Amino acid sequence: MSPYAAHADAGNSKRPQAAASNPATGTRCSSLPDDPRFGYALHLGDNALVLAQRLGEWVGHAPELEEDLAFANIALDLIGQTRYLFSYAAELEGKGRSEDDLAFRRDPHEFMNLNLVEQPNQDFGHTIVRQFLFDTWQLELFERLQASCETRLAELAAKALKETRYHWRFSAGWLVRLGDGTQESHRRVQDALDILWRFTHEFFTPGDVDRAATHARFAPDVATLRAPWLARVEPALQEATLIRPADVTHAWHGKQGRHSEHLGHLLAGMQYLQRTYPGAQW
């Protein structure tokens, strides 16, 4: 069944205002403009950008030249998605900010990425687990977002899906290789899974951006993604002879702009040039 409620206003008619402007949670919110599509585009774009930056850190360091290339390719796909989403967000905002301004001139609390993607790189297996968990989630989300009444998001999802399917094939393939590999590789990915699994709770817990998006009916309810996500994750874990960790229902709030200290360090490196020489071009 479609995750979208039936609605006749698919198109460009006025949508309800964002729930993001209704601070029911009382937590510190990012300053979201009223259009719920803006915050949602930032959320998806921030996921892609922050994960791409983490993958980029592998360049020159991956265990094999070929994997170095693979990570860089995935990172570049994600940056392509970021650019699409940020220019769309900048357009919606209409304040003259560019995609670069959104990437390089925002502070950590204005980023709305999932906590998972900012987790620092450890070993190769850890990066594979992080990628696998995220790819599977993005796959489920974008498959539904393809049918969005918001054509720009539907276009992005349709295009990004082809990339995400490849990313998933790569990360799931490596997960099985390492999990069902040597004792050492198995131990490492199981450890990574035990550490990273807790962050998947945020995938399916709506934040303000999600609530505003489902209220305006242009995005699926993230809670409905959990069952299909598990249906894809569990067989892969099984094949990889990995044990699914216990669910931890800690409420992470990356989507609300609350991050671990790791994001600040990541942004400091990523934004250094534009912060030091605003508007620098090359």
Partner 1 sequence: MKLQKQWPLFEVFVRARAGLEHKHVGSIHAADARMAIEHARDAYTRRQEGVSLWVVRSADIVASDPADADALFEPAKDKIYRHPTFYTIPDEVKNL
Q: Interface with partner 1 by CB under 8 A: which residues?
A: 64-66, 69-70, 73, 169-170, 173, 177, 182
Looking at beta carbons only, is 134 or 170 nearer to partner 1?
A: 170
Looking at beta carbons only, is 91 or 180 nearer to partner 1?
A: 180
Q: In whole angstroms, what separates CA 198 from the centre of its chain?
A: 15
| Shortest distance (Å) from residue 243 CB to partner 1 | 24
| Shortest distance (Å) from residue 169 CB to partner 1 | 7
| Shortest distance (Å) from residue 64 CB to partner 1 | 7
| Shortest distance (Å) from residue 69 CB to partner 1 | 5
Looking at beta carbons only, is 7 or 169 nearer to partner 1?
A: 169
Output the DSSP codes for 196-222.
Answer: HGGGGGGGGS--HHHHHHHHTTSS--G
| Shortest distance (Å) from residue 281 CB to partner 1 | 24
Looking at beta carbons only, is 69 or 243 nearer to partner 1?
A: 69
Contact 220/3 with Cβ under 8 angstroms?
A: yes
Kindly tell me the sign of the dihedral angle through the C-alpha atoms of 85, 91, 93, 95: positive
Looking at beta carbons only, is 64 or 261 nearer to partner 1?
A: 64
Residues in CB range of 29: below 8 A, 6 or more apart: 20, 23, 208, 256, 257
The greatest distance separating any two alpha carbons of the chain, rounded to the nearest whole angstrom, comes to 58
Q: How many CB atoms lie within 10 A of CB 184?
A: 9
| Shortest distance (Å) from residue 200 CB to partner 1 | 25
Nearest to 34 by CA among 92, 86, 81: 92
226: exposed, middle or buried (Cβ count in 10 Å: 0-12, 13-18, 19+):
middle
Q: How many CB atoms lie within 10 A of CB 79?
A: 19
Q: Extract the tokens encoding 167.
A: 């990313």
Looking at beta carbons only, is 182 or 281 nearer to partner 1?
A: 182
| Shortest distance (Å) from residue 166 CB to partner 1 | 8
80: exposed, middle or buried (Cβ count in 10 Å: 0-12, 13-18, 19+):
middle
Looking at beta carbons only, is 57 or 91 nearer to partner 1?
A: 57
